[in-house]
Chain A
Amino acid sequence: MATTVTRTRKKRDRDAIPDELIVVDDGFRPSPAGWAARGAVLVFVAVLVLWLGPVVLLGGEEWFALALAAIYAIIGLSLNVLIGYVGTISLGHQAFVGIGAFASAYVVTEMQQPFLIGVGLAALIGAFQAMLLGGLALRVTGLYFALITLSYGLFAQDTLFGIQSLTGGGSGREAPLPTGPDNFAPYYFICLAFLAGVVFIDRRMMATKGGRALLALRENPRVAQTFGIDVRAYTVLGFGVAGLFAGIGGALLAHLNGFVDSTEFSFQLALVFVLMTVVGGLRNRTGIIIGSAFFALLDLLIRKVPGLEHRLADLDTTIPVVLAVAGLAVAIVGGLGRHWIRMGIGLVVGLIGVLILTPVTVPVIENQINEFPILVPETFALVVGPVLLLVTLVMYPGGIGQQIRPIQHWLAGHKFDIHVGGEADVQITDVRA
């Protein structure tokens, strides 16, 4: 192979490549102490998720919310496959999830099958219905496809989920918790195990030809074809994977609630799913898990602050909530990016919002408090979500994922560099139009 070497050298001299384009390994390897620090962070996260958070800080009754967070993370990863990898938006994801929920409920209560078979079948049925929709995505793209998914979701909600023999009609269907009534603690770990499985499949897909094919055809289907990629087959495959994940998420959700009925799967839910995925950060699994868990835990957060639940339902307090959330989000994001002015402005705005919300400025008389309607959790998410989305799209198009990239980079054994994961990693033109 000596000839190859000389030829290579000759060419290199002829068309010299500018140095700034060459990515070289900086030779940095963490010291044992460095590795230990990285390991400690990972162990801490594991302890937080598996023991400290649920067992110590939150205690018994909050297991439900934690299981919901794991389920939302699965659903977020499902939507990420569609928006992030395939490059098409789904505004009807509540149908994807709902079909899984009803399928598992039917299998478990009507057919008397065990829980795992229910989840498995729900995953397959979810994949199947998504692949049918994927066939459509080959003919209709962009905004028109978004409209189709929107109407598919509404159709499922109003018609499909009302079929008496399958879904129990308006009265819904029972979906017993496999770990026994109200025993949410072990169920949280079951949900985590499913989340781990979903993350595994996602990782393997993106590391092999299926994932590469999806990324290529999202960016440029013509080029993907000349690479020998069957655009039809892989689009359908992408939908299948998204449907598989959504089916699992739906089944887990059904058994968590112990009950499914069609009113749960409204368009609002689909919006929350899209918001949590985009705010979490497309194509960044960790970011999506954090984002989805945040939206799932919002409900718990509201209930933990006394009186907040009622006060939030009051329209007068919507504006301060928006101020507080937007301000604090800008402050955090600005602080992470070392934009001190942004951080300052964010802090001031956020604190104004928080101040208005405190009982000092909005006195709540105890006997009046119950006259306010209690806030529907999704509604709150729909107040907070768009604000976060706006902040995300304007300042960090990669969402939470982009903000945690420096940390991920460091954990992988590199030098800490706050600038890792710049704009180049993210494209705002994510959805093919």
Chain B
Amino acid sequence: MTTLLETDSLSIRFGGVQAATDVSIRVSEWEIVGIIGPNGAGKTTTFNMITGFYKPNVGRVRYRGQDVTDLPVHKRTALGMGRTFQNVGLVKGATVRENLVTAQHLRAEYGAVSAMLGSPDAFDTERSLRQEADEILDVLGLGDLADTRVAGLPYGQLKRVEVATVLATDPDLLLLDEPTSGMGPEEAHAFGDTLIELRRDFGLTVLMIEHHVPLVVSVCDYVYCLNFGQILAEGLPNDVRNHPEVVRAYLGEDPDEIAALEAG
């Protein structure tokens, strides 16, 4: 399998805090890769370095073999990186459909200035963009929400709308930051199914930060566990989950003791 995304020992420091050290991640095409780790482990920081919001002090980010470390965020979007945010990245004042059409920015192949002056091809493009947006919403079962204002939606729906919006940017690599936060275990599980369907239908590769361990185990092909800005363990989901260091990082206990407690 070809490597889609590769980070090469990313390190970043904010003042006196070393937020990430030597984070090397590899995501191959068609994979679903999970990042787990306790709060403050540097997961979102790593995401921000990959997508271009932060520039690492040391290390490079490579996407399809191309060094993108110095590219601004919107150019990485153009290359096919799409990301969601921990606290929902949507335009709250707009409706769901308007958000999707806004996210199709790079697919609107007319000049912003000529459209302003009334260029006729903008009209056709706009119509087809709206249609495509509706198709994406239908696939995610959100068609009924197209005209609803984002600001009024409950959190779980927001997360789903956000995924739809990112799909509208036409990504190859989907970076999801806690996509199931605010969802119950049932919904989270259903989201896992959706993710696998999306990978099939849209030909996606996924890198996601996720706290819901059963979901990670069931959908991910490979898992990284971060702690204190460093990779604590990596490997197949089950191996990482049972890795003694990982268990200690999450629970702060000796795994043998826990096993003993569970047995007793």
Binding site for B on A (CB under 8 A): 4, 7-8, 11-12, 14-15, 17-18, 21-23, 200-201, 204-205, 207-210, 212-213, 215-216, 219-220, 222-223, 225-231, 234, 237, 241, 424, 427
Contact = CB atoms under 8 A, between A and B. Distances in A.
Main secondary structure of the interface of A (DSSP, over half): helix
Contact of B117 (A204, A227, A234): A204
13 contacts: A7-B139, A15-B187, A15-B190, A17-B157, A210-B115, A210-B116, A213-B112, A215-B91, A219-B92, A219-B93, A225-B73, A226-B169, A228-B105
A21 B51 CA distance: 33
Contacts of B78: 228
B115 A208 contact: yes
B16 to A, nearest CB: 25
B112 to A, nearest CB: 4
A207 B98 CA distance: 10
Interface in B103-127: 103, 105-106, 108, 110, 112-113, 115-118, 122, 126
B251 interface: no
Given A204-B117, A228-B105, 15 more contacts: A8-B139, A8-B141, A11-B140, A17-B144, A21-B145, A21-B148, A23-B147, A204-B116, A205-B112, A208-B110, A212-B101, A220-B89, A227-B102, A228-B78, A231-B74
Contacts of A7: 139, 197
A220 B112 CA distance: 20
A219 B101 CA distance: 16
B237 interface: no
A228 B106 CA distance: 6
A213 B116 contact: no
Nearest to A22: B144
A12 B95 CA distance: 20
Contacts, number: 139
B105 to A, nearest CB: 5
Contacts of A230: 72, 74
B5 interface: no
Nearest to A9: B141
Name the interface size band of chain B. Answer: 35 or more
A200 B98 CA distance: 21
A210 B98 CA distance: 13
B138 interface: yes
Nearest to B122: A208
A22 B89 contact: no
A87 to B, nearest CB: 11
- Interface centre among A14, A226, A230, A241, by most B CB within 10 Å? A226
B213 interface: no
Interface string B144-170: 111111011110110010000110010
Contacts of A21: 144-145, 148, 152-154, 157
In the A-B complex, the 10 residue pairs with the closest CB atoms: A11-B141, A210-B112, A225-B73, A228-B77, A23-B147, A208-B115, A223-B89, A228-B106, A209-B108, A212-B102
B53 interface: yes
B176 to A, nearest CB: 12
A324 B113 CA distance: 45
